[in-house]
Amino acid sequence: MSRIGNLPIHIPAGVTVTIAGEQVTVKGPKGELSQKVSGGITVEQAEGQILVKRPTDDIEHRALHGLYRALVHNMVVGVSTGYKKEMELVGVGYRAESNGQVLNLTLGYSHSIYLKLPKEVKVETKSERNKNPLIILESCDKQLLGQICAKIRTFRKPEPYKGKGIRFVDEVVRRKSGKSAGAK
């Protein structure tokens, strides 16, 4: 029995949900998202709530039940409040600048890295003296935001010895001691 799939999704004020066959479209103040629901899973709207139902207790239906409920819930939260990720650049000389939808990263390579972001993602950079540069990304699409963050992180992953690299603000990087710690 899917515990996640059975939970109703509350529709906040200012959000409209349209269900047309297998297509679920959610509109809100932050944007518009749509998702195709397949595999026999049905989506119903009643009394300010969205209910996701499955036809049988097959293992595939149970898996898709929780999946589509989570996807629709993420869409509702995204168009109403949005999602925000903050990343910091830890390292000497690491810099980030944003110019419209282009993110310019200087990460210790011989060249700068330019990353063109989709229009659904808003980017902002902060650089203060004696603090690590920050990249702040906002979007209504949780999946797209996570994908962009993962792409930025691949340019310089946090390394375990000095802790240099691109990391999330609340992330804890496990540090290793190095070769001089146990040399006796």
Average pLDDT, stretch 23-45? 93
Regarding pTM above 0.85, the answer is yes
DSSP letters spanning 18-66: EEETTEEEEEETTEEEEEE--TT-EEEEETTEEEEE-SS--HHHHHHHH
Average pLDDT, stretch 88-99? 94
Together in a domain, 68 and 94: no
Q: Give the separation between CA 15 and CA 91, rounded to whole angstroms.
A: 42
Together in a domain, 15 and 71: yes
Report if residue 174 sits inside a domain: no
Q: What percent of the chain has pLDDT over 90?
A: 79
Q: Strand pairing of 49-53 and 9-10? A: antiparallel
Together in a domain, 42 and 108: no
Question: What are the phi and psi torsion angles at 2 (to 5°)?
Answer: -80, 115
The pLDDT assigned to 1 comes to 47
Report if residue 44 sits inside a domain: yes
Question: Which residues does 69 contact at the CB level (< 8 Å), separation at least 6?
Answer: 2, 4, 5, 7, 9, 52
Asked whether residue 136 carries a pLDDT value surpassing 60, the answer given is yes
Q: How many domains does the structure of the chain reveal?
A: 2
Host domain of residue 145: 83-168
User: How distant is the alpha carbon of residue 61 from its chain centre?
Assistant: 26
Together in a domain, 55 and 92: no
Together in a domain, 72 and 119: no
The pLDDT assigned to 184 comes to 57
Together in a domain, 125 and 142: yes
Report if residue 99 sits inside a domain: yes
Contact predicate 139/122, CB 8 Å: yes
DSSP 8-state assignment for residue 184 = -
Report if residue 173 sits inside a domain: no
Together in a domain, 72 and 112: no
Domain at 112, CATH number:
3.90.930.12
Q: Strand pairing of 42-46 and 165-168? A: unpaired
